[in-house]
Amino acid sequence: MTSTPVEVFDTTLRDGAQREGITYSVADKLAVARLLDSVGVTYIEGGWPGALPKDTEFFARARTELQLRHAVLVAFGATRKAGTRVEDDAQVRALLDSQAPVVCLVAKSDPRHVRDALRTTPEENRAMVADTVAFLVGHGRRVFVDCEHFFDGYAADPDHGVAVLQAAFDAGAEVGVLCDTNGGMLPSGIGRVVADVRARVTGQLGIHCQDDTGCAVANSLAAVEAGVTQVQGTANGYGERAGNANTFTLIGTLVTKMGLPVVPAECLPELTRVSHAIAELANLTPDDHQPFVGASAFAHKAGLHASAIKVSPELYNHLDPAVVGNDMRILVTEMAGRASVELKGRELGVDLTGQDAAVGRVVTAVKEREARGWSYEAADASFELLLRGELPDAPAPLFELESWRTTVEHRTDGQVVSEAVVKVGLPDGDGGTERVVAVGEGNGPVNALDNALRAALVGRWPQLADVALSDYKVRILGWTGGTSATTRVLVDTADKAGEWTTVGVHENVVEASWLALVDALTYAVVSR
């Protein structure tokens, strides 16, 4: 590694936007840029003005709407075309018109691409790079050069790409970026090539890695160890094909494992929040298993792990999760032991001091239930009710069930309506019960049951008026054909303060749903 500080160059808005399924609006791009700035990246590549109208608009709006505290905005573009004067190239002119203080040019560094794609000579290719860099520098822009397909080209001709790099540096480029465009390199090869190139050129080197071998982050770190001082990545690893090096994994590793302060210290705890926020803007589900920032990055399932964590969390965490804005979670499953239950109780705010017998009963209940298809990994609310139910001050049931019934009616006008009737007994305070019958309609029997049960209970517990079912998931377990199977239902419920998840299991999908709904409303009363 060199003594020069390492910079993080994020290309979520340009290269990351090439991921299948991602389409950012200009407003989205501005929001993503603000989020990336909040984690302290050095550069944000905003897109290709002149080539894409949306990117041209982004840079125009950024001038008045984007106030960056940490990052510098970068415009991406190509060198002048072969046989064209740089002053006459419209796309080069668009880079100036964007008013971005930094321009990143893409250049061909593989002689085969020069010959077959550009259909020109190596000499003209180098002139295209030098002319464009000098023109932009002459107009007050800082310039980086992405050497596309550098490593593939280096294998074919070790001198061609180096000559392109040196031409860029001689013309005034600050950084020459070595690109593993096809993503086929391995860390050992990256380190060897970067070290060789570092000894042959005079300017600052960067690295841009695609993830086609699953090695983009490892390749980038190998390049840093070999002497590059700029690392390119994208939020959550978004990008074409298998994606790019993940900016958040790079930052987490460079700071916490390699001791390189690539972002301001106060920005590091923003990593998890920003990762999830950008996933929402991209309309993608966050990757729970992403390093550092994933919801499962510090989740522990095995009882052996929990026993050690109870003594010291550092024994099974490579890092304090709070450093990157994340948190440790204990998952209670059939693998759970007493330590898992005790830690989970602490996490949920349930005091288990002196409750050894209750903890033992919960461990046994979890193992028995999971053998029948129950799962508490994603249903903390149901587990909390199970846990509280074994304590001396266990909450009493909200009601006694007499019966419930659902019907689905297909009407002559084509409308399909579900109706549910719920009959329950509510405690009357004198040791007896008050019989309540309630009816609810809904979009399907589960929604109708939810509405009917809340209607039955809301007079006694008014807070249930603010509770609503927000998501519903069904999984068939152990299906062997026909209609006989066990069904597991997860219900997400929300009120003004937040959201919680409950679980129900039964051979009948509506009964499984009923069990999850009862837990959901019980939780809203006893634990909110």
| 51 located within any domain | yes
- Cα angle value 106/107/108 (rounded, 5°): 135
CATH for 212: 3.20.20.70
124 and 189 fall within a common domain: yes
Among the listed residues 310, 382, 395, the one whose alpha carbon sits nearest the alpha carbon of residue 348: 382
Q: Which residues contact 23 (CB under 8 A, 6 or more apart)?
A: 17
How many domains does one find in the chain?
3
Query: What confidence score (pLDDT) does residue 330 get?
Result: 62
The answer on pLDDT for 165 being more than 80 is yes
350 and 496 fall within a common domain: no
| 413 located within any domain | yes
φ/ψ of residue 404, rounded to 5: -135, 155
User: Which 3 state secondary structure label does DSSP give 78?
Assistant: strand
155 and 34 fall within a common domain: yes
Return the number of other C-beta atoms located less than 10 Å from residue 352's C-beta.
20
Of 282, 310, 333, the residue at which a domain comes to its end is: 282
pLDDT confidence band for 305 (50 / 70 / 90) = very low
79 and 130 fall within a common domain: yes
- Tokens representing residue 227 in the block: 């002497």
What's the whole-number mean pLDDT along residues 346-356?
Answer: 80
Q: Give the separation between CA 331 and CA 333, rounded to whole angstroms.
A: 6
Residue percentage of the chain with pLDDT more than 70: 92
Query: What confidence score (pLDDT) does residue 122 get?
Result: 82
Note down the domain range covering 507. 400-527
241: left (phi over 0), alpha (psi -120 to 50) or beta: left
379 and 407 fall within a common domain: no
Query: DSSP alpha helices (H): ranges in 213-355?
Result: 216-226, 247-256, 271-281, 303-311, 338-348
Contacts made by residues 467-471, CB under 8 angstroms, sequence distance 24+: 467/493, 467/494, 467/495, 467/520, 467/521, 467/524, 468/493, 468/494, 468/495, 469/493, 469/517, 469/520, 470/494, 470/499
277 and 311 fall within a common domain: no
The least confident of 169-178, 297-306, 360-369 is 297-306
User: Which 3 state secondary structure label does DSSP give 145?
Assistant: strand
433-442 and 468-477 strand pairing: unpaired
CA 135 to chain centroid, in Å, comes to 40
Beta bridge partners of 408: 418
Q: Give the separation between CA 231 and CA 253, rounded to whole angstroms.
A: 12
pTM above 0.75, yes or no: no
Q: Give the separation between CA 270 and CA 184, rounded to whole angstroms.
A: 32
Q: Give the separation between CA 431 and CA 517, rounded to whole angstroms.
A: 26
3-state helix, strand, coil in the chain (%, to 5): 45, 20, 35
Of 371, 390, 409, the residue at which a domain comes to its end is: 390
Query: DSSP alpha helices (H): ranges in 335-404?
Result: 338-348, 356-371, 380-389
What number of residues does the chain have? 528
| 206 located within any domain | yes
404 and 491 fall within a common domain: yes
Of 333, 364, 390, the residue at which a domain comes to its end is: 390
| 289 located within any domain | no
Q: Write the pLDDT tens digit of every residue in 384-420.
A: 898 888 888 888 899 999 999 999 999 899 889 999 9
Query: What confidence score (pLDDT) does residue 59 get?
Result: 97
331 and 246 fall within a common domain: no
348 and 270 fall within a common domain: no
Q: What is the largest CA-CA distance in the chain?
A: 97
What's the whole-number mean pLDDT along residues 249-278?
Answer: 94
| 288 located within any domain | no
**Average pLDDT taken over every residue of the chain:** 89
308 and 272 fall within a common domain: no
Q: Give the separation between CA 331 and CA 329, rounded to whole angstroms.
A: 6
User: Whose structure tokens read 């085969």?
Assistant: 112
User: Which 3 state secondary structure label does DSSP give 90?
Assistant: helix
What's the whole-number mean pLDDT along residues 509-516?
Answer: 94
Beta bridge partners of 68: none
55 and 174 fall within a common domain: yes
pLDDT confidence band for 60 (50 / 70 / 90) = very high
| 287 located within any domain | no
The least confident of 37-51, 221-235, 294-308, 396-410 is 294-308
The answer on pLDDT for 117 being more than 90 is no
Are 133 and 150 in contact by the 8 Å Cβ rule? The answer is: no
The least confident of 17-21, 155-159, 172-176, 292-296 is 292-296
Q: Give the separation between CA 342 and CA 349, rounded to whole angstroms.
A: 10
| 292 located within any domain | no
| 293 located within any domain | no
CATH for 467: 3.30.160.270
383 and 458 fall within a common domain: no
Are 504 and 513 in contact by the 8 Å Cβ rule? The answer is: yes
Q: Which residues contact 368 (CB under 8 A, 6 or more apart)?
A: none
Are 300 and 327 in contact by the 8 Å Cβ rule? The answer is: no
pLDDT confidence band for 316 (50 / 70 / 90) = low
What's the whole-number mean pLDDT along residues 146-156?
Answer: 93
